[in-house]
Amino acid sequence: MIKGITLVREVASADAHDKLSQLLLSLGFEQGKGWDDGTGRGVALLAPLGNLELITGRPPAVPSILIEVFNLDAIHSAVHQWMLANYRSEDVASLLGSPELTHWNSRLFTVKLTDGNTDGLVLGFWQSENPLHGKPAAIEGDLSAAGMRFAIVTARWNAVITDRLLQGSLDALHRSGAAKADIEIVRVPGAWEVPSAARTLAETKRFDAIITLGCLIRGETAHYEAIYNEVARGIGQSQQDTGIPHAFGVLTCETLEQALDRAGIKAGNKGFEAAIAAIEMVSIQRKIKAEDSK
């Protein structure tokens, strides 16, 4: 079975060998085991990922050594500084190219390492412009709520917080295309009652997802942890038993200030986040079911 791939390239001189090694090590390559037998020497430069690409029909339009990077502009700046330190400034402009768009949805720049007596070795540094490039194939949810039905269960206790959570959830759903007629809001006395209402709504099978909202503040009750554990357990059990996604938007905070921050003041709005999670989970369920029906 294949374990790895190694590309062995000759460089023109010991000086070029050292310069190239120094450059690649400075950019983040890991140094592997080297060798020196008196007639020549080598150094292994290790990268997390290796590829072998074979072509036919036309000469390659890129250097034979391509190095994929995460931040092309930062790499270009680092290479430029390294070139200025190792080559005459008047030569750098001809040896180092600028990042340019390619026809394969990427940006690329090239650098030539030479000792002045040979053509030298050309490296290409590139970064994909595709945000999904390199990610493993996976089923992921879309964030379109058009045609989906949602129920929102929100607690009246700590209404100064839960009303903000509710507005965040509604904002997320409407921004994502959910119709007002496809959203049903149910108010319950407190967080303790949220799981029961969520399960009743889920069992009707009228909704694609349930969004649960509440707020527990430790300083207000001595049995804070007992309530939170049962609320979390009840919501999770309802989701597992009914198969309907339940988005968890119940805040557990030490102080009212922390709760306000998580309800839209400083740390985002947990209600908005819960609604987005609900939309994505409905989309994922539909995609999985569609795959099964093929």
Averages of pLDDT over runs of 10 residues in the chain (294 residues) are: 82 81 88 87 88 82 89 94 89 92 92 74 90 72 92 93 93 94 96 96 96 86 80 95 95 86 80 94 92 74
**Does 227 lie in the same domain as 178?**
yes
Predicted pLDDT at 75: 94
**Is there a domain that residue 247 lies in?**
yes
Cα–Cα distance measured from residue 95 to residue 178, given in angstroms and rounded to the nearest whole number = 55
Secondary element (H or E) of residue 100? strand 100-101
Instruction: Find out whether 21 and 35 touch, Cβ atoms under 8 Å.
Output: no
**Does 204 lie in the same domain as 123?**
no
Cα–Cα distance measured from residue 215 to residue 186, given in angstroms and rounded to the nearest whole number = 15
**Does 179 lie in the same domain as 77?**
no
- Strand partners of residue 109: 125
**Is there a domain that residue 139 lies in?**
no
- Strand partners of residue 262: none
Predicted pLDDT at 264: 77
Which amino acid does the sequence have at 248?
Answer: F
Predicted pLDDT at 224: 76
**Does 157 lie in the same domain as 89?**
no
- In 3D space, the residue among 107, 106, 77, 102 whose CA is nearest the CA of residue 92 turns out to be 77
**Does 154 lie in the same domain as 120?**
no
**Is there a domain that residue 137 lies in?**
no
Predicted pLDDT at 108: 95
Which phi-psi region, left, alpha or beta, contains residue 180 (left: φ > 0; alpha: ψ -120 to 50)? alpha
Q: pTM of the prediction?
A: 0.59
**Does 185 lie in the same domain as 286?**
yes
Predicted pLDDT at 34: 86
Predicted pLDDT at 12: 76
Clarify whether 223 is annotated catalytic.
Answer: yes
Predicted pLDDT at 33: 87
Predicted pLDDT at 220: 57
**Is there a domain that residue 82 lies in?**
yes
Instruction: Find out whether 231 and 195 touch, Cβ atoms under 8 Å.
Output: yes
Number of structural domains (the chain) is: 2
Instruction: Find out whether 115 and 148 touch, Cβ atoms under 8 Å.
Output: no
Compute φ and ψ for 34, nearest 5 degrees: -100, 180
Q: Where are the alpha helices (DSSP H) in the chain?
A: 14-26, 72-86, 89-95, 159-175, 194-203, 224-242, 256-262, 270-292
**Is there a domain that residue 140 lies in?**
no
Predicted pLDDT at 265: 74
Instruction: Find out whether 248 and 274 touch, Cβ atoms under 8 Å.
Output: yes
Predicted pLDDT at 291: 80
Cα–Cα distance measured from residue 160 to residue 165, given in angstroms and rounded to the nearest whole number = 9
**Is there a domain that residue 160 lies in?**
yes
Q: Please list, residue by residue across 238-269, b when 16 or more beta carbons sit within 10 angstroms of its beta carbon and e when fewer do.
A: bbeebebbbbbbbbbbeeeebbbebbbeeeeb
**Does 79 lie in the same domain as 156?**
no
Predicted pLDDT at 135: 66
**Is there a domain that residue 142 lies in?**
no
> Which CATH number characterizes residue 58's domain?
3.10.180.10
**Does 123 lie in the same domain as 38?**
yes
Name the residue range of residue 256's domain: 150-292
* Radius of gyration over every alpha carbon of the chain, rounded to an integer in angstroms: 29
**Does 167 lie in the same domain as 250?**
yes
Residue among 17, 76, 80, 223 flagged as catalytic: 223
> Which CATH number characterizes residue 273's domain?
3.40.50.960
**Does 122 lie in the same domain as 19?**
yes
- Strand partners of residue 173: none
Predicted pLDDT at 79: 93
SS3 call for 292: helix
**Does 277 lie in the same domain as 184?**
yes
**Is there a domain that residue 5 lies in?**
no
**Does 177 lie in the same domain as 121?**
no
Handedness of CA 259, 263, 264, 269 (dihedral sign): positive
